[in-house]
Structure 1
Amino acid sequence: MSDLSTPPANWSDQRWRDLAQAWVGDHLDRAGHRITGPVQARVRPWSLVWRLPTDAGAYWFKANNAGTRFEAGLLDALAHLAPGRVPEPVAVDAGRGWALLPDGGETLRDAFARERDPAVWERVLTGYAALQRATAPRAGELLALGVPDHRPEVMPGLLAELLDDREAIRVGVPGGLGPQVYERLRAFLPEFEARCRRLASFGVPAGVQHDDLHDGNVFAADHRVFDWGDASVAHPFGTLLVTLNSVADSFALPAGDPVLVRLRDAYLDVWADRHDRAELREAAGLAVTVAKVSRSLSWRRALSTPDPARAEYAEAVPGWLAELFEPDKL
């Protein structure tokens, strides 16, 4: 389980690196592979990633900070709950937040650089929706793994608590919430609670919600979804916030464009066997609003441990809250 009280790992410490390299080497050896070249590293405040060249192609090691440590255990669970929808880990240490993964090839973003076809997203979204439905009956198990609880019924309390964290939302600080926006958010709390109640009333069960599903987090060849460090157990339709924003930006589409509407409806149709389509569309609009708070919370978790580089990203926490008063792409 992810525990923010756990002291953060010092990824620059040689003893930590030696331990992680031994773990990686041991599991590659069990798989019959060995590292054949220099390891390439990428470090962010929320994770460290190593690209490992081996005699069987590239592998990847990922270590998460305390705020996103649940990702390794979640990925392992999703690989069993929805085979073929996520990368299948070679090894996982859920307690440490470590995962060893095979290379998945180029991303959808890479593929779009050669051939731009937004219709590909219909296949991605319907497959991803099937994954979400598969996780709904096991939502309690995912919460037990430390996946954050962002279900509609808890979101009003989470927003109120977030507004009390003036350091994270940077009230009156350059790049933070202005005092007027802050007071407007405070006044919005009853309305937000009412929207959450309405969203829950449709009866679409909560499941895993990736919360950062864009073309850089999907493999082009098989549409497996990776990078689950922003995920939560939430209303599934909140996914549409980032995804439709990403598609709109990538293909220069205005809000309400028929392409965006078609993608939204293709995604929602996965639930149309049990729910009225008009209600699904209303629920999607509400879920996108709620997901803006979810995005702010996920950024706060990602930046929860000391790191000089986190200042570079700190504006994301208040920035997503301010988006509550901006129009959506739906």
Structure 2
Amino acid sequence: MSDLEQRWREPAFLAAAHAWIHEQLDDTLPGPVLRIEQTHVTDWSTVMRVTTRDAVVWFKANDETMRHEAAVTAFLAPRSGQRVARPMAFDPTTGWMLMSDMAPRLREVVAEERSLDRWPEVLEAYARIQLACDDEVDALLALGLPDRRLSTLPDAYADLLEELVDPDPRLPGPEVIEELCARLAAHGIRETVQHDDLHDGQVFVPNGRAHVLDWGDACVSHPFFTLSVTLEGVIAWGVDDEEGSEDLEPHLAAYLRPFEERYAGVDLRDAARVAMRLGWVCRAVNGHLPQDPGSTHTRLRMFVDGRP
């Protein structure tokens, strides 16, 4: 266990988290709390399963890099068309939050149904969340979301290259990133919230209706950057994790449909092509962890090659 993970198991943290959970739930309708189990620990977060008299509730705490998740989730919920669940409780100072149980995950549903047919509905609903927030950039930044807008990406990429040990020699200089950003910006699509890690473990389908959770990796960026991870990094690999086994066209069409309503006459397909490459640069910058350079190198290979 790393030192970063160990902090989530420290007695002082656990005592404070348990006290906060009891304070939020014991005197409410689903309470009292009967049992708390720490089910998930990473370098950057921990999750606890809270069993109450009437329900299962989930507690999450993030480190300072993702402390914004609770406040951002609460901000998005009323703007999401009921596709982002509102936290039952959250503390914007600590970033702690309690969420209702939203099982099952899309990942388990896909495995059971042996189909990715639910993804188009997810993508269209998610695009509408992005569009609902494209005039809320200042508010999102004020909540702590990282600024990965096109104007910031070339410099952030340059800084990342300087930090990496043995970067791929095929990686272009920042001037190429700047040119691609200018090409994408020319389409006039407004920047907004972008999940940046939207995969089947982040989507839940209680009662068959998709909800997008886990906004800890979210940032403010070009909305189409999401296509890199979601389409190229996840959906393209199909049900059996075989590269190129899924036709991306119906998924891309579903995602673009709400943008077509807003941006009539704009070549959204060209924007998507550029964004799917640049999105890996955004993901590399936004998700870089010094203790995990391998993931950053993989994302940059995806930028260069379109494959890990």
Q: Secondary structure at the match of 2:26?
A: helix
Aligned residue in 2 for 1:25:
22
Alignment of 1:56-205 (within 5 A): 56-165=54-163, 169=164, 171-172=165-166, 177=167, 181-182=168-169, 184-185=170-171, 187-205=172-190
Cα RMSD after superposing both structures: 2.3
Aligned residue in 2 for 1:211:
196
Cα 1:30–1:317 shift into 2, 3 Å? farther
Aligned residue in 2 for 1:289:
277
Is this contact kept in 2: 1:49–1:60, CA < 8 A? yes
Q: By how many angstroms is 1:119 displaced? A: 2.1
TM-score, scaled relative to structure 1: 0.85
Aligned residue in 2 for 1:4:
none
Cα 1:284–1:134 shift into 2, 3 Å? same
1:237 aligns to 2:224 (yes or no): yes
Alignment of 1:34-49 (within 5 A): 34-49=32-47
Q: Secondary structure at the match of 1:153?
A: coil
Aligned residue in 2 for 1:16:
13
Q: Distance in 2 between matches of 1:328 and 1:282?
A: 20
Which amino acid is 1:127 matched to?
Answer: A
Is this contact kept in 1: 2:33–2:51, CA < 8 A? yes
Q: Distance in 2 between matches of 1:265 and 1:250?
A: 17
When the two structures are aligned, how many residues end up with a matched partner? Answer: 300
1:326 aligns to 2:305 (yes or no): yes
Aligned residue in 2 for 1:263:
251
Is this contact kept in 2: 1:255–1:328, CA < 8 A? no
Q: Distance in 2 between matches of 1:219 and 1:270?
A: 21
Q: Distance in 1 between matches of 2:69 and 2:137?
A: 15
Cα 1:256–1:110 shift into 2, 3 Å? closer
Q: Distance in 2 between matches of 1:48 and 1:273?
A: 40
Q: Secondary structure at the match of 2:267?
A: helix
Q: By how many angstroms is 1:294 displaced? A: 1.7
Which amino acid is 2:71 matched to?
Answer: G
Q: Of 258, 263, 268, which residue of structure 2 is paired with 1:280?
A: 268
Q: Distance in 2 between matches of 1:285 and 1:212?
A: 18
Q: Secondary structure at the match of 1:104?
A: coil
Aligned residue in 2 for 1:54:
52
Cα 1:248–1:8 shift into 2, 3 Å? closer
Unaligned runs of 5+ in 1: 1-6, 305-310
Is this contact kept in 1: 2:237–2:245, CA < 8 A? no
Q: Secondary structure at the match of 1:150?
A: coil
Q: By how many angstroms is 1:36 displaced? A: 1.9
Q: By how many angstroms is 1:328 displaced? A: 6.6
Aligned residue in 2 for 1:3:
none
Is this contact kept in 2: 1:71–1:229, CA < 8 A? yes
Is this contact kept in 1: 2:236–2:245, CA < 8 A? no
Q: Which runs of 4+ in 1 moved over 4 A?
A: 252-257
Q: Distance in 2 between matches of 1:284 and 1:30?
A: 49
Q: By how many angstroms is 1:232 displaced? A: 0.5
Q: Distance in 2 between matches of 1:77 and 1:150?
A: 19
Instruction: Name whichever of 57-66 and 32-41 sits farther off.
Output: 32-41
> Comparing both chains, which one has the higher relative contact order based on Cα–Cα distances under 8 Å and sequence gaps of 6 or more?
1
Which amino acid is 2:25 matched to?
Answer: L
Instruction: Name whichever of 280-289 and 31-40 sits farther off.
Output: 31-40
Q: Distance in 2 between matches of 1:199 and 1:47?
A: 34
Is this contact kept in 1: 2:111–2:239, CA < 8 A? no
Q: By how many angstroms is 1:10 displaced? A: 3.1
Q: Distance in 2 between matches of 1:256 and 1:280?
A: 24
Q: Distance in 2 between matches of 1:298 and 1:154?
A: 12
Q: Secondary structure at the match of 1:129?
A: helix
* Identity among equivalent pairs (%): 35
Q: Of 222, 227, 232, which residue of structure 1 is paired with 2:214?
A: 227
Q: Distance in 1 between matches of 2:183 and 2:306?
A: 19
Offset from partner CA, 1:121-146 (integer Å, 9 cap, x none): 11111111111101111111000111
